[in-house]
Amino acid sequence: MTQKLLITTAIVSLFLSGCSQNAPDLKGKNNISDIDSISGETVSIDENTYGNESTGNYNSSSDGFRSIYFDFADYSISSSMESNMNTNINVASATASKIKIEGNCDEFGTDEYNYALGLKRAKAVKDSIAAQGVDTSKMILVSFGESSPVCTEPNDSCYDRNRRVDIRLVK
């Protein structure tokens, strides 16, 4: 009887200790709003690489809008995207139609993480456009997470192109 109790206790102890996980720290480094402390990596977007139509570079937005590109695991709009944002604000101001702001991510991270990051990127662009007087009721936010890549090659240039917000007119 004592031997059965010891074996059962040992098995239950092993099972419970093997399944334990640390609880997420919602105020600190496991929170998506503090993502820099998780990744530990900073990637800068070269302003000459993205959104410059004269050099034949990338833009997956349509209807006169220009894509906004983001650093790895970041959702703040960099100063190198200022020209693209000004273009987007002018186009959004001139149209009476609703616009769809689509947040996208590279393939790194879980589906849930990338969905949330894509939504934060879209919201950052929406807030920037709204700060210039464009009516927020004309804006629809969508996050595609990692599900809508424009490039699928396994290299840094391709990953950079997928970390973006595209803007389209709702037709």
Residue 19 lies in a domain: no
Task: Give the pLDDT score at 6.
Answer: 67
Residue 162 lies in a domain: yes
The domain spanning residue 116 has which CATH number?
Answer: 3.30.1330.60
Per-residue pLDDT of the chain (171 residues; tens, 9 = 90+): 777 766 777 676 655 555 444 544 444 433 444 333 333 333 344 444 444 433 335 687 788 899 999 999 999 999 999 999 999 999 999 988 999 999 999 999 999 999 999 999 999 999 999 999 999 999 999 999 999 999 899 999 899 999 999 999 987
Question: From the centroid of its chain, how far is CA 42?
Answer: 15
* Residue 69: its H or E element: strand 68-69
Q: How many domains does the chain have?
A: 1
Task: Give the pLDDT score at 18.
Answer: 55
Task: Give the pLDDT score at 78.
Answer: 92
Q: Which structural domain range is residue 101 located in?
A: 49-169
pTM: 0.66
Task: Give the pLDDT score at 1.
Answer: 72
* Residue 82: its H or E element: helix 82-94
Residue 14 lies in a domain: no
Residue 34 lies in a domain: no
